[in-house]
Structure 1
């Protein structure tokens, strides 16, 4: 039998012909935390059941790597689907709604089923039994018509409708002991590696508590993010109102010629929500002197701030906008991160002393000159821009640190109104495959970077992990400090962004490390029918990304 010499995890090893990635992975379990989920070879992910054909270096990913964690989440989700199937039958519809701080929120849509501690105990016992039995997750490649038939027989009509829009002639289904399911992305080799999870009652359903990537031997603590949970629940109602719960429903609005109406309903819901937030500010106008707006990258902060200002003007309140970027310290004093690079996203990159002094003076009624930061020279300048608040006037301040109390520590809380904005995606691919909010924002940013900043898709993907790291440190820990939360996601946007994003993703060379993400996003966007954006109004937040906004963004 022939052998190949392959560099595996930095070691040269001899691999026999016909060896699978899973068989090879057994020799490297000690170098990974928990079970190995997936392999990588030449910027391509490889499922562990695949046979190794080439002598190209191999890496293995456990749950400390984002790709390994995605595989783990899908595997645990399949365990839960199987447990619900075995306990309640094929007509008990499990819906995996969204992610909440690394955990998954789920509901069971079947009359006469009460989600309580006893039900969760039974589900957990079933799932633990599958893990102990170390059952194989068998991958089946079958023709689309056969896959559709299997999904219909199992009462998974959401998946049958999704697959109806698939252009490929073949479909990959996964099986655990007679239960077939369709998942977007790769799966583990067997159930035995999925041994760390818990179930906990939450809202109208329950959470699957999953391991932490940074601390993989422990599950995520069950944070109760009351305000963020409220936004998810509100978005679920919006989906019901618009009759669009998943990608197949969205595609059908295009098929029926109802896409324009969907846009108008969604934009009306946005406008109504912004008006409600403006009303909240207005009712506190005797005390509130500033509105602080914060949110992660590509959440639509600039368009939201402009639309909020219009709503405030309609109430007789005149807003004055301030950008926190203008309070950067001179570049020579910018703090550095652990690698010695300048950290512009640190709150200490701002001149907090000067900012608080200026804000206090403005609140006191003084006329204050506001600085302007010169990004070419890296210094603050004064160009004769003054602000003085009169009666029924207010400051609107936009920047990533707006919810951090350290930013405006010298300003009384009653003078501040804090708004958190994020694109919190509620639309799902189907009942068992959710859409990542991070992926939606990445697609938004990729399109905007190319449209207005001349960056290609690879450059945006390359910087995305650093962007997310900054958000985890500087934005998300403070989101519950908000007085109001605005969800900037639109249910229709991925159908429109698809035509802008796909050429950028297909242009990424397979030799680049960004190709793994590009390939995943290409498959993801493949579920959507493309739609023109001609009916999107020019004040929409989506226009900030595709162009044509009436605002300076």
Structure 2
């Protein structure tokens, strides 16, 4: 696990922001390139690539980046998001997270995993499927939105928090490469507790949900302990399935995320403490902002969270 001091991050953000951003992006790109090499080397035997990782680990963007990297290696890649297999709200009873007394929105029961498993098996067999779409604004499952069949020289990348679930992996291990994505870095302030990986992911998710999923930061905070419980129950037990790993953290990102979330978090000290996120509040006002709009690559993983 990588460790970055807040002093180092602030210094680079203040004096050499462009070079700092480029160094972070280059490290991430190298990891993606290594994974693409491995997928390409095994593509004929393993046409399915499963990307798993906890909430806000950058699965969607890394999926896209891998597709581009594979194209450069002469391999066409299709994509499927497991989010599109969520079930329509109101058509089933959402499981309850009794630990935190909130709906268990992380549960695999919220998704039609048997349908996804069937689709992947058919793709591996060279058959055509009809890929659905989930509308997050209306929370509605929309079936049969696009046809998909894999040619002999193609692969399909599937990303989602349940990608390593036994329902999916059971019959596909021989035909799949498994990639685990996470924030595997910590930020260490000069005083007080460090910002652990799950805290850094919270910042990503809080901003993404506010901007793109019509969920205020307070709502994300209220659900966060349940999100962490879901990771413990539904992701961590299967992490050992991964053939490859990628740390998606960009050290400069905290300068941007905290800048955008500062006003939302100022009045949330008690809620942050209840969500085991007190160190986030402790560093408010102590992180150097970055004027980033003209220096972040347009395909940066950070755009998944900031737009």
Q: TM-score, normalised by structure 2?
A: 0.87
Q: How many residue pairs get matched?
A: 300
2:235: which partner in 1? 475
Q: Secondary structure at the match of 2:262?
A: helix
1:322-333 to 2 correspondences below 5 Å = 322-329=80-87, 332-333=91-92
Aligned mates of 1:448, 1:342 — CA distance in 2: 20
Distance 1:343 1:264, change over 3 A: same
Q: Does 1:345 align with 2:76?
A: no
Q: Give 1:329 shift.
A: 4.7
**Match of residue 357, structure 1, among 99, 102, 118:** 118
**Match of residue 300, structure 1, among 48, 53, 58:** 58
Q: Secondary structure at the match of 1:475?
A: helix
1:514: which partner in 2? 271
**Larger Rg belongs to:** 1
Which 5+ residue runs of structure 2 have no aligned equivalent?
none
Q: Does 1:253 align with 2:12?
A: yes
Larger mean Cα displacement after TM superposition, 269-278 or 369-378: 369-378
**Match of residue 389, structure 1, among 147, 150, 153:** 150
Q: Which has the higher helix share?
A: 2
Q: Give 1:344 shift.
A: 4.1
**Match of residue 493, structure 1, among 247, 253, 260:** 253
Q: Give 1:419 shift.
A: 1.0
Q: Does 1:408 align with 2:165?
A: no
Matched-pair contact (CA < 8 Å) for 2:102–2:226: no
Q: Secondary structure at the match of 1:434?
A: coil
Aligned mates of 2:17, 2:139 — CA distance in 1: 47
1:98-497 to 2 correspondences below 5 Å = 232=1, 235=2, 245-255=4-14, 257-329=15-87, 332-334=91-93, 336-337=95-96, 339=98, 343-373=104-134, 376=138, 378-383=140-145, 385-411=146-172, 413-430=173-190, 433-497=193-257
Q: Give 1:326 shift.
A: 3.1
Matched-pair contact (CA < 8 Å) for 1:502–1:522: no
Aligned mates of 1:459, 1:350 — CA distance in 2: 21
Matched-pair contact (CA < 8 Å) for 1:298–1:445: yes
Post-superposition Cα deviations, 1:466-502, rounded to whole Å, max 9, x if no partner, equal 1111111111222221111111111111122221111
Q: Give 1:459 shift.
A: 1.9
Aligned mates of 1:401, 1:308 — CA distance in 2: 19
Q: Give 1:416 shift.
A: 0.5
Distance 1:515 1:393, change over 3 A: closer
Aligned mates of 1:258, 1:374 — CA distance in 2: 41
Aligned mates of 1:379, 1:527 — CA distance in 2: 43
Aligned mates of 1:374, 1:459 — CA distance in 2: 19
Q: Does 1:532 align with 2:291?
A: yes
Post-superposition Cα deviations, 1:70-129, rounded to whole Å, max 9, x if no partner, equal xxxxxxxxxxxxxxxxxxxxxxxxxxxxxxxxxxxxxxxxxxxxxxxxxxxxxxxxxxxx
Q: Secondary structure at the match of 2:201?
A: helix
Aligned mates of 1:465, 1:334 — CA distance in 2: 21
Matched-pair contact (CA < 8 Å) for 1:403–1:419: no
1:503: which partner in 2? 263
Matched-pair contact (CA < 8 Å) for 1:334–1:343: no
Aligned mates of 1:288, 1:405 — CA distance in 2: 18
Aligned mates of 1:454, 1:344 — CA distance in 2: 16
Which 5+ residue runs of structure 1 have no aligned equivalent?
1-231, 237-244, 548-553
Q: Give 1:267 shift.
A: 0.4
Q: Give 1:333 shift.
A: 3.9
Q: Give 1:451 shift.
A: 2.5
Aligned mates of 1:292, 1:439 — CA distance in 2: 25
Matched-pair contact (CA < 8 Å) for 1:321–1:396: yes
Matched-pair contact (CA < 8 Å) for 2:55–2:201: yes
Matched-pair contact (CA < 8 Å) for 2:51–2:160: yes
